[in-house]
Copies of this chain bind each other. A is one copy, B any other.
Amino acid sequence: MPLIFWLVPFSAALALLFAYGFFRQMMRQDEGTDMMKKIAEHVRQGASAYLRQQYKVVIVVFLIITVIFSILAYGLGVQNPWVPFAFISGGFFSGLAGFFGMKAATYASARVANACRSSLNQGLRLAFRSGAVMGLVVVGLVLVDISVWFLILNHFIPETADGWKLMTITAVMLTFGMGASTQALFARVGGGIYTKAADVGADLVGKVEAGIPEDDPRNPATIADNVGDNVGDVAGMGADLFESFAASILATALLGAAAFMGAGAEMQFNAVIAPMLIAAVGTLLSIAGVFMVRTKEGATQKQLLHALGFGVNVSAVLIVIFAFLILYYLGLPNYFGIWGSIVIGLLAGIGIGQSTEYFTASAYKPTQRIAESSKTGAATVIISGVGTGLISAAVPLGIIVVAITLAYSFATGFSFHTDYLNFGLYGIGVAAVGMLSTLGITLATDAYGPIADNAGGNAEMCGLGAEVRKRTDALDALGNTTAATGKGFAIGSAALTALALLASYFEEVRMMFVKFLDMPGELINGVPAIDAAFIDFIHHYEIHLMNPKVIVGIFLGVMSVFLFSGMTMNAVGRAAQKMVEEVRCQFRTIEGILTGEGQPDYARCVAIATKGAQKEMLLPSLVALLIPVIVGLVFGVAGITGLLVGTISSGFALAIFMANAGGAWDNAKKYVEEGHYGGKGSENHKATVIGDTVGDPFKDTSGPSLNILIKLMVMASVVTVGVAVSYSLL
């Protein structure tokens, strides 16, 4: 193993070490008054209870899938024997990352509120570093898993002369992404349903019916609401990006093994480890970036945002430089073009974030127009939100289109000839890695949001002074901005990762084709000589658009997206309904609850949200897991490829539409609350509150769940590729 590879486990260890350091540092802070401790303890217990429940379901699902994979591997022989183990390890590490991240978040909130009693700067640093625990644990554990597996497989899988060894290794490692994907499915869908059932339920009865403010301790659902922020926005988001980070690196490694198969053992090896090294260096830069986040007392919203942005931006600029050095050192023939693809990926991430901000922040026209339409009532608020959301989806789609065209072109030296196709696909993979390279710090800013939000909740419930509330509000408002751009980034990276996975699906099928159909070896060994085998491959599987199976697959992909998001949307409606009934019941039956004399039963609401989320997440999850398998069995490889393209394209668009419409409604409401168009309490405000409530499942349940769907469907297809190749019906 060349020395430079050890950078990967080294940076993994360092990330985990710093995460532990930040965690210890945070735990040393004072948690404040007894009341603050008690509230935090409630939230912590609720979150742990939910996570335990979720892991129970996940373990059952993992057992079933592991059995299936074992049959495929040991019984039917259409899968590598290492696959079941890689699958389990992906799920285990993703679960672990979610567990640690959420622990840190739930321990942090009261401490951040308490830190805000001294100064804003202390509050910001504590909240951000607690968020960094999540960010660094995620990237650290991904890199641990990758390093360990790569070392094990490199040791055990026998050497071959023609480059098959690295193809096999990377293909097996990709299945650890499947484990992460399955874990993320339940975390995102279950967490998403939980958080919005609690939020919508709390708001509908508390804010609208009883007229008490957000986070009021008299509202029985308020603890569940705070728990929801942690299980949905921290654990769900973490699992989502764990998967993107892992899958983008692993898919790119496989694409590198395929593209440089005939270019000599060393070159192929370097192409495989290039994405790992970039991710490793990005992780080191993320750690450095975390230390750059600081602000002074009395900082404005803009200065706070700048403080966060500074750390993120410095890391991004440095990774551009370091990526070049790595690629130059590795000596890939088209290193300059590949570097271009990385930069494109980074720029695309920034572009999508900017467009999210434009369409959802109240500083810009679109959200202001939605607020303005409240003058004619809730209906026009909804109509203009939907209209704006639909239009807003066009921009990131456009960015992704430009990004994949350029990433492909850079990596192939601007040739669209089939001979260079493999390089182009590698370029797309590398762009995804580039976008996600500094995930350690971007995820820290994402996780910061719910921590600040919970700190505000804690301060509100414990009746801390106005000055403290002002500080937590400032942190919280900042969190809303980072949450919106974070969502855009999560979706954009999911789309690019899914495309990289799709490319690796093609490569896996092609390899199977070459292997099983006994194609002449010389055609695939030399890089420029894949042409003839490639044409035969296309012809054999007919993955062209005149094949009705492909068209049918694309329709089924779009169908899955609509079905899945409709299901998650209705799930929130039903679960929220139960929460509403419970809160109404408590308001009715518990004496003195609204005067503050009676004690609301927080635990009942937490239990209801937990049960609702558990029950409701099963059906959509089943859809996501089963459709690719069924389509593969009926329509074969042609149907699958169509399915995946249909899912990725329409799922991406729908996810952006939902996230942006939801974000814009949220901020339109805040814009009115700031005093525009009648301000708080006016009829216009009520209209925007309805918009905000509609937006809740849009932006926090159905939208983000689609990130998982598009990655999981491809992942499931990649892992079961042998089934579709060997047993399809049509």
Which positions in A face B, CB cutoff 8 Å? 200, 204, 208, 373, 376-380, 382-384, 386-394, 397-398, 400-401, 404-405, 408, 416, 418, 421, 424-425, 428, 499, 502-503, 506, 535, 538-539, 542-552, 554-559, 561-563, 565-567, 569-570, 572-573, 576-577, 580, 641-642, 645-646, 649-650, 652-653, 657, 689-690, 693-694, 697, 730
Contact = CB atoms under 8 A, between A and B. Distances in A.
A296 B721 CA distance: 62
B397 A562 contact: yes
B376 A204 contact: yes
A397 to B, nearest CB: 4
A535 B541 CA distance: 12
13 contacts: A379-B689, A380-B577, A383-B569, A383-B572, A386-B566, A390-B569, A393-B559, A401-B559, A404-B548, A421-B546, A543-B544, A562-B653, A690-B690
Contacts of A550: 545
Contacts of A204: 376-377, 379-380
A405 B553 CA distance: 11
Contact of A577 (B376, B577, B641, B646): B376
Contact of A545 (B405, B408, B645): B645
A573 B366 CA distance: 13
Nearest to A544: B544
A203 to B, nearest CB: 9
A161 to B, nearest CB: 27
A683 to B, nearest CB: 11
Contacts of A539: 418, 535, 538
Contacts of A379: 200, 204, 689-690, 693-694
Contact of A555 (B389, B392, B400): B400
Given A204-B380, A390-B566, A551-B645, 8 more contacts: A208-B377, A391-B566, A394-B559, A397-B556, A544-B544, A544-B545, A554-B554, A554-B645
Contacts of A561: 653
A561 B654 CA distance: 11
B563 A394 contact: yes
A569 B392 CA distance: 13
When all copies of this chain in the complex are counted, the total is: 2
A342 to B, nearest CB: 17
Contacts of A650: 558, 649-650, 653
Contacts of A424: 548
A118 to B, nearest CB: 39
Contact of A416 (B388, B555, B730): B730
A244 to B, nearest CB: 18
A387 B573 contact: yes
A573 B404 contact: no
Contact of A576 (B380, B580, B649): B380
Contact of A390 (B376, B418, B542, B565): B565
Highest count of chain B CB atoms <10 Å: which of A204, A379, A386: A379
A379 B570 CA distance: 13
Nearest to A636: B416
Nearest to A499: B551
Highest count of chain B CB atoms <10 Å: which of A378, A546, A641: A546
Nearest to A394: B563
A690 B377 contact: yes
A584 to B, nearest CB: 10
A573 B382 CA distance: 10
Contacts of A570: 384, 387-388, 391
B416 A562 contact: no
A394 B566 contact: yes
Nearest to A427: B548
Contacts of A499: 551
Contact of A382 (B535, B555, B572, B694): B694
Contacts of A569: 383-384, 386-387, 390
A383 B694 CA distance: 6
Contacts of A428: 548
Nearest to A541: B544
Given A506-B546, A546-B538, A580-B376, A562 B645 contact: no
A187 to B, nearest CB: 21
